[in-house]
Structure 1
């Protein structure tokens, strides 16, 4: 202990420290929820408070000898902070595999503290051994070094993004342990505690209190929610600022009086009076108080909302709801639940820029359902991007500048807030929310959260509108594709009828021609009826799937195209009878189209061969010609693209595309091999099916034989 008496400065120093620790203790105690880390820090702060009180009492008594209570509290304070730091380090020790040593750390620290107290009280306790003279000082240095080492390990093992929450704890406790090390190292060197260094120790301890308080408020896992009344802090800050202001003005007044000559006293009085008036104006300025309240709330207090919970609830409402709940109403409800509103309206931008009512939720529709894009309300939200509180706008209109509310909004008696929906920097729409279930005043945090939610709702609405536009586009695409298929089939039917009409003048007296004409008309009528039936069933493929002899279908397609030159020639092996399971009419139509394309690409004296065979469990129909052929780029980029044709107005450009779609839907494929000037070969491959004629009465086989013979 000190060999010289302590002055009253020590009483003031440790008294300030005791008050600071007491305030922090009360704050932590009222918010402690029973968790271990919170209990440890509360205990450490309480012991620090008792230690500061005992040190102030020790200084006031002017004692020069040892004080048992002070020594016990000082050792307990150091040990308790070390225990708290070890508990913070525990997760890192557990992850590194050193956790098994953790259970020995607390007993070791307690034993170290008991031993140090025993050494401090060796003269009183009459120990059987006589400890070294500097043993107690070295013991205190050991506690300080241990604290600094633990702080260094904690800082090293704290992830960079988490250091924001704990750096003030490290700084505060580091200040305490570093000063203790300096105090006892100096005592070890000079064989006594320096009174001035010891007296300043109380103020140094008081400096660490706000740092520890900030760290506690930033660590909810300590089960601490430090709270001080915003009104109290605002008034305290005002008084503190006023004091600093008056001191500064007094200094300026003294300077004027000292160097103002004959006018010094007059100028000093005038200056002080003017400074007092200015201070009075500032203290009663509502705008200044509002700004100060926002600054204090943002930088010195915990947030009003648990943003994790708020955002999870918000996104859950957006992404899920009642099965029949419209999506836009769900968006209104998600934003309304943040401020406990029970209704709202959603307005979205429509072409050519006006805003229209898109959805309502528990709020009556206004008399007007459209808001011009150049109205004062829209212009204000686009420029300021503010959340408009309607009551505040009515009571204090100067806050909102030149904003003029539309009449329909004034007529909504329950309307409370107008929230802009910003998508990027574009105003996508706005929400009108009904009054809250409980009367409440919005602060900066409410407004920031509502603006953020408004941006999310804007993205949600934009995505919803894009999805609806895409769905509508797909509907039109399907309709156009179906129309193209119908026109393509009608074009083929019209070509058949046109051929009959063109030959009627020359052959109308020929009975064979008349019979063929009636057959053609009957075939065209059958195709038209089939087409209408397919349209009624809203399907193009798989309308009548059945086993089909591929060779028979090829022969029917060749017969249908035999009137056009060059005439296709079938190549069918009699011992190879591949069958497929498809819609027979669609198969014949596809084969006809492929043969027609070959005829159009080949000179009248050319060759077209249609082969049928089996290959690797696939039935193959190969249509070969020696026409103009195609290059690789055309095949890759244009051949199978819908609505792409080389026939000008004579073609629709969907025949090959439709043929490939048919093959793929049946589980097969349509490929082509071609070279310019050497012709092309199309390969239609369909899943092979065993000849069903071997298991029944052979009617299908007879039909196939008849088709081959007639071709």
Structure 2
């Protein structure tokens, strides 16, 4: 006996205790028939959406006839179970067709209304319903000849498969509708989706217990009644059902995996059911062992990279006009290049390999020093140490043509590659398939060798162009990376050279002080005060050189900034310059002014400014150093009446490294002074006039809470 007829017999042959259930079932299907009939009339009379409206109206009318037939069963001569099943199949088919038409991307040639070409998924759905029709006819024929075979549980498998198909189509329709347009279709998705979900529940229960539950069957009429208003509400919101659909490959991939998993589990459950009833005493053990092994096998397959790769390629080839969703591919490509977990060169290989599902590859990059392309990175391939000369035919071909080389095609159609000679080592890479050039501004920066993909990929113009463009993008990343590396190295050398220059400058000042001592030693060597001052000066020079060496050591790279009394520091600086002519004078207007700085470096900066003032002033001139307070800062004023500087020199050369007015100077003292003063939050200002003198103002922020 057929599956739908079983439900009828269930309440026809029921005892008097099930009379109420029979009445409720009849009433529920009768109400559903009336509601769907009214909805179909409303759609036919007021619909303006042409094809969509016609399909939906047909589905509602088929639902009405189907429900009315079931409601009238108790008052009929029950010889039409086949009719009930065909009506239900018609209802499901029209609803499914309605969803497929709404999902326009399931068809190619949409603009060609005369000869549309159906996608394989549409053909598969049609075959499923043809199989359902054949199963209905076969089961009714078998039941009429062999009544003892009418209780086969396999009769429900087709209905379960059709319910799953409907759920997936509803899910696809909702997910791929733009967010702002979902308000118009959410109720029809809820209604049709609820219908298929309830059918899935009904027939899954029947598959498990080998018969349809009377309670679930009776409630089905009320469920269909509740669904009809939802469909009507969406119909009112969508007079033409013009909804922009964009099927996501990502979602379709998981939907396909879900559908395949459901079909697999149903088949395995059927096989387990057979083992249970054919295995005798050990049947239950065989069934549980088989089902567990089937689930483990399913998990292994789903997590297999090869299987996932094959499914992605299959979906792209058979469900879409183009092999790639360029938005998703470019986002993934950019994300891979931008990751920080792995080194950029490895990321370049991975990003290109993902485009063609390749599991491994290697990168060769240009080296001007070796005048060749060197292997600088590899991913899942053994080490390759062979380089490629820049002037080789292989590299010249890549640079001139910018072609992506298919090694398989090169072997079979070498004339396309202008008889290009491949490097001897290239075929030795296991399953090497493609060579992707990295071109930037017409220059070949390098190339990437990719291995055979996990699943078969047709190397057509689309794959070639995508790899070509992606290679150019990857080349820009690598060029930027190499430039950053070179810049970092240059900055390290610059820092080293700058530090060396400052050291030489400090040594020059120390030499000047010691030379002055030697000059005055002949004249004052018998003077005890001079002898003591000479010892103090030598000791000071030694201490300065020790501190200089400490700065150069790796353990003292960071300066120690501490609160520092400026009056004490200036007194020490002036005392060290007491043997110069003219002798600098110190005026402290405000004492106990403290700043936060490195003592030795600030002393060197201020000492250099005082020394410059002394050297720029004749012996009969004057150099005055003043310390005073201003709101929130200390001001050190260094004034001289020397030869002065022009305004043009101050603006263009004074703070420029290696520019100096002194024949023995290096021109970095004032530059270093300003850099350090600004580093600790201060300012350095200068005013000067030729032949009248110069004034330097050093403004430093006062230490907090002092």
TM-score, normalised to structure 2's length? 0.55
Give the match for residue 56 of structure 1. none
User: After superposition, what is the alpha-carbon deviation per residue over 1:52-80, rounded to whole angstroms, capped at 9, x for unaligned?
Assistant: xxxxxxxxxxxxxxxxxxxxxxxxxxxxx
Matched, 1:615 2:630: yes
Give the structure 2 partner of residue 628 of structure 1. Answer: 643
- Name the Cα RMSD after superposition: 4.2
Look up the SS of the partner of 2:99 in the other structure.
coil
Whole-angstrom CA distance in 1 between matches of 2:688 and 2:421: 72
Q: Where in structure 2 are the equivalents of 1:411-426 lying within 5 Å?
A: 411-426=428-443
Q: Does 1:487 align with 2:504?
A: yes
CA contact (8 A) 2:105 2:246 kept: no
Whether 2:588 is the aligned partner of 1:572: answer: yes
Query: Counterpart in 1 of 2:400?
Result: 383
Give the equivalent residue in structure 2 for 1:305: 324
Contact 1:558 1:568 in 2 (8 A): yes
Distance of 1:450 and 1:690 partners within structure 2: 61
Q: Report the CA distance between 1:620 and its aligned residue.
A: 0.9
**Matches of 2:351 and 2:96 in 1, distance apart?**
31
What's the offset of the Cα at 1:458? 0.6
Please name the residue that 1:362 is paired with: 380
Counterparts of 1:236-247 in structure 2, within 5 Å, are: none
User: Within 5 A, what are the aligned runs for 1:553-572?
Assistant: 553-572=569-588
Structure 1 residue 674: Cα displacement:
2.0
- Unpaired segments of 5 or more residues in structure 1? 1-17, 23-27, 50-89, 104-149, 155-165, 167-215, 226-296, 693-711
Q: Is the 8 A contact 1:620 1:686 kept in 2?
A: yes
* 1:603–1:333 Cα change, 3 Å: same
SS of the equivalent of 1:548 reads: strand
- CA–CA distance in 2 between the matches of 1:442 and 1:471? 41
Shift of 1:39: 8.2
Distance 2:376 2:571 in 1: 60
Structure 2 distance, partners of 1:336, 1:676, is 70
- The number of residues matched between the two structures is 435
1:318 maps to: 337
Secondary structure, aligned partner of 2:553 = helix
Secondary structure of 1:438 counterpart: coil
Q: Is this contact kept in 1: 2:684–2:696, CA < 8 A? A: yes
* Residue 405 (structure 1) aligned with residue 434 (structure 2): no
Q: CA deviation digits over 1:243-295, x for unaligned, max 9? A: xxxxxxxxxxxxxxxxxxxxxxxxxxxxxxxxxxxxxxxxxxxxxxxxxxxxx
Shift of 1:619: 0.9
- Indicate the residue corresponding to 1:465 in structure 2: 482
1:630: how far off? Answer: 2.2
Q: 1:474 aligns with which of 478, 484, 491?
A: 491
8 Å Cα contact 2:638/2:696 also seen in 1: yes
Q: Deviations over 1:179-238 (max 9, x none)?
A: xxxxxxxxxxxxxxxxxxxxxxxxxxxxxxxxxxxxx9x9759x999xxxxxxxxxxxxx
Provide the secondary structure at the position in 2 that maps to 1:336.
helix
Matched with 2:156 is none
Distance 1:614 1:36, change over 3 A: farther
Q: CA separation in 2, counterparts of 1:328 and 1:39?
A: 42
Structure 1, residues 457-499: CA drift from partner, whole Å, max 9, x if none?
Answer: 1111101101111111111111111111211111111222222
Structure 1 residue 540, shift from structure 2 partner = 7.2
1:346 aligns with 2:324: no
For residues 306-346 of structure 1, the C-alpha deviation after alignment (integer angstroms, 9 at most, x for no partner) is: 11111111111111152xx2210111111011111111111
Distance 1:409 1:29 in 2: 57
Query: Aligned equivalents of 2:704 and 2:491: distance in 1?
Result: 39
Please give the alpha-carbon distance, in whole angstroms, between the structure 2 residues aligned to 1:488 and 1:550: 24
Cα distance between partner residues in 2 of 1:489 and 1:556: 17
Shift of 1:536: 1.9
Residue number in structure 2 paired with 1:371: 388
The yes-or-no answer on 1:584 pairing with 2:602 is: no
Instruction: Write the distance in 2 (CA, Å) between the matches of 1:41 and 1:443.
Output: 23
- Asked whether the 8 Å contact 1:32–1:38 carries over to 2, the reply is no
Over residues 533-552 of structure 1, what are the superposed CA-to-partner deviations in whole Å (9 max), with x where a residue is unaligned?
22225667742x33332122
Asked if 1 retains the 8 angstrom alpha-carbon contact of 2:105 and 2:247, the reply is no
Q: Distance between the aligned counterparts of 2:566 and 2:548, measured in 1?
A: 22
Distance 1:408 1:440 in 2: 24
Three-state SS of the structure 1 residue aligned to 2:626 is: strand
Q: Within the alignment, does 1:671 sit opposite 2:685 as a pair?
A: yes
Deviation at 1:581, TM superposition (A): 2.8
Q: Which ranges in structure 2 are unaligned for 5 or more consecutive residues?
A: 1-50, 56-92, 115-176, 188-238, 253-315
Q: Is the 8 A contact 1:367 1:408 kept in 2?
A: no
1:417-566 to structure 2, matched below 5 A, reads 417-536=434-553, 542-543=559-560, 545-566=561-582
The answer on whether the counterparts of 1:340 and 1:436 sit within 8 Å (CA) in structure 2 is: yes
